[in-house]
Structure 1
Amino acid sequence: MAGHFPEKAVHGGKVQELRRIFGHDFLDVSASMNPFVPQVGADFSCADLSMYPDDSYAELKESIARVFSRTTDEICLGNGSAELIRVYCHTVLSRGDTAQIDPPTFAEYGLSAELAGAAVLPGAMLGDRVPTVRFICNPNNPTGTLLPRKIMFAELDQCCAAGTQLFVDEAFMDLSCPEDSITDVRSENLFVMRSLTKSFAVPGIRFGFGFGPPDLIEKIETARTPWTINAFAEYYAKLAFVHYHELRDAAKRIAAEREWYYARLDELGLSYERSSVNYILIHLNRNAAAFTRAMIDKGILVRDCTSFGLPECIRVSVETRERNVRVLEAISACLH
């Protein structure tokens, strides 16, 4: 194939092969799942596999609309947030457009924008160019930084004035500070994405959803693959939204455990980014790839942040106390 073709994005959660080697006790703290998941109680035998799903997903969208006080024509669905990012970029971006993406952040934005033909630049390198789309991950991955709601309003105002579309990824918002969400904001320049993956710890389900103006939502729903939400995912998602309010308790428990984690990192003499969510970016001041391999030998997978442009940092998820103790003991051993 002639010309440049972007490389596939690097992600965490690569634990299945390691468990085949080391056994099921191998601990994955690279993928940042909610350790305090609401009990949904899904009986998947109730999912009807004998028919195609309703490709409009009317009932599922009504469930989301009730939780977020939006109308169903403002809601789109995807096979995980990755599909929504990809479809959004192919819908909004064209060759010659520019996407503003400030690192370090989730790699799928840049890859999807490049696949759509756009140039990807951080804000500092835009010069006089006005980006077609500005991507913001809030809270950010991998730093855990949360931009308050008033700052997000200012970002949106700037985008509207410049004629730029604002894409906001709130995949971790439910485990952070939901009061700072802008899912309730309606603007022709705004698209906000959410996911069940992290908040309900169900990466195998593959379910993402987003909010935007009806004309954009119609285009995204047209562009996505038909029947992209399978019957199991649709069944689980409907139940999950009944329990959605319980995520507030999980966020409080994570915040308390995160403070305990900081104190242990201080004892180890490690610096870190103060996070708003269920993961912590740790500065090692040494090669992260080598440190990650040493942690694998201890039976634990951490997220090597080299792919984020942070070759001396790792990211670890905040887990239950027992698991956190195990991770910190392994970190201490690998430091010495």
Structure 2
Amino acid sequence: MTSLDDLPLRNDLRGQRPYGAPQLRVPVALNVNENTHPIPEAVAHDIVAAVARAILTVNRYPDREFTTLRESLAGYLGHGLTADNIWAANGSNEVLQQILQAFGGPGRTLLGFVPTYSMYPILAAGTVTGWIAAERDADYEISPATAAEQVRSNAPDVVFLCSPNNPTGTPLSLETIESVYDATDAMVVVDEAYAEFAPDGTPSALTLLPGRERLIVSRTMSKAFAFAGVRLGYLAADPAVTDALRLVRLPYHLSALTQGAATAALAHADEMLAMVDDIRQQRDRLVIELKRLGYVPHRTASNFVLFGGVDDPKAVFEALLAEGILVRDPGIENHLRVSVGTKPETTAFLDALERLGTPQTGRPGPNRLEP
């Protein structure tokens, strides 16, 4: 049988590994930051009806400009945005890929602050864009001074800022974003995939868009909207940016079914986002309980918690898996990451972790109170 080494693969892709988290069937899957809450039934019926209507049109190509969807996304985001400011694709990964196709490429570089979303260097490799791994401050923070210095010294063509950061959950201040923008002539992309999980009143980078034609804010419906299986990511930017992305997008890249489902979901935004408060509550519970068990959870504004103090991450990962609970080993020494689940899922994870014993003593921790 032919192996990968037998094929005329691009030299720069040899030895690379594809993105991948374990896809295992377990009772409690908390490893890929999905929204584990189901879509409300009444909303699901409306989405199904929208998809059914779209099915009747699939003998024709879909609206290449996905105008209705862009108008709906602009209405959801607010901030005075219009359809001209909006772009969408099959998940935010494709949005980011198209940005690199337009503004990266051979001889150009992308800078990100590590540890960060593991797809960034993979997208860079796929678009033949050089990857620059910039450093963070202590506890995975990025101050305005650190950000500006790293950008000035590396002179990238594109900067990705993950806000809040994956896999650490670290929030990012608007001051840091502004410092990066002012320190470079590069395209600055703020990846706000988890923005809806931030505390109420947290300002979005969307507020910085006016007058900043090189600033892009990327979002997704995968997380807060519980739409991971639909694959719909989008961005807001100056209309010139969306014009640039039209040069690299594939024809009719958003299917009629995707457009119909996403537009219907946005019409029920309030109901779709009603589960966010419960997710925040369980996230805060995880932080409190992980501390009590002797672990070191990091500051997070997302739907997951990175926690340190894990003496043997592989052993803990396997022990949890043996109990039907799947978490994520992010490759950070002495750390694991757990997505926020429903209350029963969160309880199952905490109960299993408690049975393993506290990291300092190996003995069961004290009984905890249910929220």
Tell me the TM-score range normalised by the shorter chain: 0.7 to 0.9
Flag the 1:129–1:31 CA change in 2: closer, same or farther, 3 A.
Answer: closer
**Distance verdict in 2 for CA 1:74–1:232, change over 3 Å:** same
> In the TM superposition, what are the counterparts of 1:155-174 in structure 2 within 5 Å?
155-158=180-183, 162-174=184-196
* Partners of 1:66 and 1:275 in 2: CA distance: 28
1:279 aligns with 2:304: yes
> Which one of the candidate residues 234, 243, 259 is aligned to 2:259?
234
**Partner SS state of residue 180, structure 1:** coil
- 1:22 is matched with none
The aligned counterpart of 1:327 is 349
Counterpart of 1:303, as a letter, is R
1:95 lines up with 2:106 in the alignment: yes
- Counterpart in 1 of 2:54? 47
Residue 138 to residue 11, structure 1, CA distance change in 2 (3 Å): farther
Cα deviations by residue, 1:111-146 (Å, 9 ceiling, x for unpaired)? 212332332223357784311111100011011111
Pairing 1:113–2:91 present:
no
- Which of these residues, 59, 74, 83, is aligned with residue 65 of structure 1? 74
Q: Helix, strand or coil for the counterpart of 1:280?
A: strand
Give the alignment of 1:1-336 within 5 angstroms.
1=9, 3-5=11-13, 7-12=16-21, 14-15=22-23, 18-19=24-25, 26-36=27-37, 39=40, 40-41=43-44, 42-43=47-48, 44-48=51-55, 49-68=58-77, 69-124=80-135, 128-158=153-183, 162-177=184-199, 179-184=202-207, 185-186=209-210, 187-246=212-271, 249-306=274-331, 310-335=332-357, 336=362
CA deviation vs aligned residue, 1:235-270 (integer Å, no higher than 9, x gap): 111012122245664443333222222222122111
* 81-90 or 247-256, larger mean C-alpha shift: 247-256
* Larger Rg belongs to: 2
Contact 2:197 2:302 in 1 (8 A): yes
Give the Cα separation in 2 of the matches to 1:92 and 1:206: 23
CA distance in 2, matches of 1:146, 1:128: 24
Aligned to 2:145: none
Corresponding residue for 2:3? none
The code of the aligned residue for 2:100 comes to: C
Cα distance in 2 between the residues matched to 1:225 and 1:211: 19
Of stretches 190-199 and 219-228 in structure 1, the one that deviates more from structure 2 is 219-228
Deviations 1:80-108 (A, max 9, x none): 11111111111101322222111111112
Deviates more, 1:244-253 or 1:72-81: 244-253
**Contact 2:102–2:247 (Cα < 8 Å) also in 1:** no
Q: Distance in 2 between matches of 1:312 and 1:227?
A: 45
> Cα distance, 1:321 vs. partner?
1.5
Greater alpha carbon shift after TM alignment, 81-90 vs 223-232: 223-232
* TM, length-normalised to structure 2: 0.80
Number of residues of Structure 1 aligned to a counterpart in Structure 2: 322
SS at match of 1:33: coil
Give the secondary structure class of the aligned counterpart of 1:131: coil
Aligned CA distance change for structure 1 residues 221 and 135 (closer, same or farther; 3 Å):
same
Structure 1 residues 66 and 156: alpha-carbon distance in aligned structure 2, compared to 1, 3 A threshold: same
Q: Runs of 5+ in structure 1 lacking a partner?
A: 20-24
TM-score (norm 1): 0.87
CA deviations over 1:202-234 (Å, ceiling 9, x no partner): 221111111122222112133122222222221
Distance 1:317 1:86 in 2: 25
Root mean square deviation of aligned Cα: 2.3
The 1:2/1:92 distance shift into structure 2, 3 A limit, reads: closer
Counterparts of 1:149 and 1:35 in 2: how far apart (Å)? 30
8 Å Cα contact 1:284-1:314 kept in structure 2: no
